[in-house]
Amino acid sequence: MSLVQSLTNLAASLENCQGCELAQGRRHLVFGRGSPRARLMLIGEGPGADEDRLGQPFVGRAGQLLDKILAAAELPGDDTYICNVVKCRPPDNRLPNAAEVEACKPHLREQIRLIRPQLIVCLGALASQVLIGPQARITRDRGRWLQKGRMLIMPTFHPAALLRDESKKRPVWEDMQAVRDQYQALLRQEAGEPAGKTWPPTD
């Protein structure tokens, strides 16, 4: 089965998911958007009202800001995949609780296994703790790469946090420039060119 088919099948298998209580309030299960072969994956918390309505992740205000940041950092949209830790909207935009995260984790794990991104950016504390571990602290760890197998993972602030707090814009911009540098180093390495920056990075 092709990768695209496997990902489509996974999404289809979740359409009627009743794995946690969030199923009751959803309009759409929000699986993910972007290239199934993306080198770069961005992972948020869970769908908001706009995402629930449209069935696509990061299409509301925070998503529009995220798209602008990616474009400004010259990270190509056709080589990214965007999804969330939980696929259904938590009521009143609250954070998903531990049971909801646990119920949805296997689906995120499977998405990552199929897409095999080389770079993952965790948007906010929840995604960082799910991807890196409960010890992850967004304010302390943002901007730092962590290697896990063949993947490099970086936490940064969630775009919704930038909408609330302008002072987070600069750190996120610096983080995204670091993501762009690694992305370009990866392309150079794939092309057999001198790495310039090493891949995987040593620091």
Binding footprint of ligand URA on the chain (CB under 6 A): 44-48, 51, 57-58, 60, 62-63, 84, 160
As a whole number of angstroms, the distance between CA 72 and CA 176 comes to 9
Nearer to ligand URA, 46 or 117 (CB): 46
How far out from the chain centre does Cα 159 lie? 12
Provide the 3-class DSSP secondary structure of residue 43: strand
Which one, 62 or 179, has the nearer CB to ligand URA? 62
Q: Whole-angstrom Cα distance, residue 32 to residue 58?
A: 9
Shortest Å distance, C-beta 117 to ligand URA:
17
- Least separation in angstroms between CB 126 and ligand URA: 8
State the nearest-atom distance from the C-beta of 196 to ligand URA, in Å: 33
Nearer to ligand URA, 95 or 187 (CB): 95
By beta-carbon proximity to ligand URA, the closer residue of 32 and 117 is 32
Identify which of residues 67 and 102 has a Cβ nearer to ligand URA in the complex: 67
Q: Given the DSSP bridges, would you call strands 80-84 and 151-156 parallel, antiparallel or unpaired?
A: unpaired
Least distance CB 92 / ligand URA (angstroms): 13
- Cβ 63 to ligand URA, closest distance in Å? 6
H/E segment holding residue 110: helix 98-115
Minimum CB separation of residue 84 from ligand URA in Å reads 5
Q: Which is nearer to ligand URA, 41 or 185 (CB)?
A: 41
Distance between CA atoms of 135 and 21, rounded to whole angstroms? 26
Q: Could you tell me the sign of the dihedral formed by the alpha carbons of 58, 11, 97, 147, in that order?
A: negative
The helix (run of H) or strand (run of E) holding residue 83 is strand 80-84
Please give the distance of CA 106 from its chain centroid, rounded to a whole number. 15
No. of helices (H) and no. of strands (E), the chain? 8, 6
Q: What residue number has its CB nearest to ligand URA? A: 44
